[in-house]
Amino acid sequence: MNLAGQLRPIVAALVMLAAGACVARAEEVNDYPTSARAEYVYGCMKATGETRAAIEQCSCSIDVVASIIPYERYVTAETALSMSQVRGNLGVQFRTSEQANSAVNDLRRAQAEAEVRCF
């Protein structure tokens, strides 16, 4: 068997490994559930207008946010933002928590980047 014949199975295996790695990366990037993306777009459109252009911009925005922060961090930030509006001791805990503030700041930075790229 010549060298080309010997390399063919190795090259095929490498191609399959690379394809698997690409699929894994795509799944990592797309870790936001459809419902979370839809909620974000809905809220964004309520704030920016209910037009076709707003759909495109808001869809772009959540894609950018999702590419910057993992879904778990997004949930933490959204929860902190929501709970910080609660009056009393419970709301204070979310307003003064370093972890909550860090997650909110990450989300705000991601949204600022989305604003630049999409609007």
Q: For residue 15, is pLDDT > 50? A: no
Other C-beta atoms within 10 Å of 77: how many?
23
pLDDT of amino acid 6: 52
pLDDT of amino acid 2: 55
Cβ 60 vs Cβ 99: under 8 Å: no
Nearest in space to 36 (alpha carbons), one of 68, 80, 72: 72
pLDDT digits (tens, 9 = 90+) for 74-84: 999 999 999 99
Give buried/exposed letters for 4-31 (b at 16+ CB in 10 A, else e). eeeeeeeeeeeeeeeeeeeeeeeeeeee
pLDDT of amino acid 92: 87
pTM: 0.73
> In whole angstroms, what is the distance from residue 75 CA to residue 71 CA?
6
pLDDT digits (tens, 9 = 90+) for 52-111: 999 999 999 999 999 999 999 999 999 999 999 999 888 888 889 999 999 999 999 999
Token reading at 53:
């252009």
